[in-house]
Structure 1
Amino acid sequence: MKEGPDIAQIGALIGDPARANMLAALSSGRALTATELAAVGGITLQTASTHLAKLETGGLLTQRKQGRHRYFKLADEATALLIETMMGFAASRGHLRHQPGPKEPALRKARICYDHLAGDYGVRMLDSLVASGAIEAIGEGLAVTPKGESRLQCIGIDVSGLRASRRPLCRSCLDWSERRAHLAGSLGKALLSTFFDRGWARRTAESRTVNFSPQGEQQFLSLFPLEA
């Protein structure tokens, strides 16, 4: 087939092991330097620079300068969604890069996916919002109900303000570890930011893991209960 989008180019860009590792590292939402990404990819800085240039030309990365350094990050949420979906697909087919280790349970429990909550807690949050009628499925998408807007307002989320942005309010993102959907979009980002701002959770340095404090975990589980 010689018509339509060329998925072969995107597949080739992501398919290189070093580039795949760098893209997975950037799915944490952090901006990283070429030196940091070279270490992630297990390659030299010169080789990493070549790979990063290809990824940027292909529309998967953007960069910004700060002082003497250049920082790279995923181009947008759509790129992050693509990487997370591919990770989920690979996991479902048994294509794992390493055996589960001590850090694996924490990573599966709660982690950053670009700028929203993923893992068991991310899936639980979306399940609870849907079960309570705060979010409803419309076709292949998700929408906040009037009931949900009132509920979210009570915890400090301005849904009307989020709707005014160009970014989708809420969308589902396939979770690679749970093989089910968690909440992405501007609402997913706002909720995670609220957890951080209230001190319920914090990011782990050099990791995608999100650690909830005992009090924060209690608040989270109370706010997003699951029906028995």
Structure 2
Amino acid sequence: MKEGPDIAHVAALIGDPARANILTALMAGKALTASELAEEAGIAMPTASGHLRKLEEGGLVVARKQGRHKYFALAGAQAGDVLEALMGFAVAQGHLRTRTGPRDAALRAARVCYNHLAGQAGVQMYDSLVRRGYLQIGEDGLSVTEAGGIFVADLGVSVHELAGRRAPLCRECLDWSERRSHLAGVLGRALFDLLLEKRWVDREAGSRAVRFSKAGRVAFDAAFPTN
């Protein structure tokens, strides 16, 4: 096929194990230096720099300089969606990493997916919002209902302020571990930021995992009940 999107090029960029590890590390939503990413990928700095150059040229990561340091981050939510979808596909096909441990359980319970909440907690939030009619799924995708706008405003998030931004207000993101949808988009990010601000959750250092405080878990379950 000579026409259409060149998926082979993008797949080749992601398909290298070291580059895949770099991209996975950036799924935490934080910008990292080349040396930090080299450590995450288990490769030497010069090798990491070469991989990062290819990922930047391929539009998967962006770089910015701050002082003497150069930081790398995912190019945007679309890149995060691609990676999350590939993770879900890999799990469904049985392609799992051989090392498992406590961190794996923590990632499945609650984690950062680029800039929003994922894992069991993320799916719980999404399901609760849909079940209570705060989010509705239509032909044009996901949208916030009037009741949903009132609900999130009571939590401390203004839908009206978010609606003027360039990115979609809300959309579904397929969760790799639950294989069900969690909430992404500007609203998903705003709600995750709110959880951090309220100290219901804290991010685990060096990981995508998110930990609930005891009081935060109670408050989260009250705000997003399972039934």
Counterpart secondary structure, 1:71? strand
Q: Which amino acid aligns with 2:198?
A: R
TM-superposed CA distance for 1:67, in Å, is 1.5
Kindly report which structure 2 residues correspond to 1:1-228, keeping only aligned pairs within 5 A, or say none: 1-139=1-139, 141-227=141-227
Deviations 1:15-59 (A, max 9, x none): 000000100110110111101111111111101101100000000
**Structure 2 spans left out of the alignment, 5+ residues:** none
CA–CA separation in structure 1 for the residues paired with 2:18 and 2:104: 22
Percent sequence identity is 54
CA drift at 1:98: 2.7
Residue 139 of structure 1 deviates from its aligned partner by 2.8
Letter in 2 for 1:211: R
- CA distance in 2: counterparts of 1:124 and 1:118, whole angstroms: 9
1:46-90 CA distance string (max 9 Å, x none): 011011000000000001111111110000000001001100110
Code of the residue aligned with 2:178 in structure 1: it is E
Return 5+ residue gaps in structure 1 as ranges. Answer: none
Whole-Å separation in 1 of the counterparts to 2:178 and 2:165 = 29
Structure 1 runs of 4+ off > 3 angstroms? none
Q: CA shift at 1:100, angstroms?
A: 2.5
RMSD (CA atoms)? 0.9
Give aligned pairs, total: 227
Matching residue's letter, 1:204:
E
How far off its partner does 1:99 sit? Answer: 3.5
Q: Which secondary structure does the structure 1 equivalent of 2:102 belong to?
A: coil
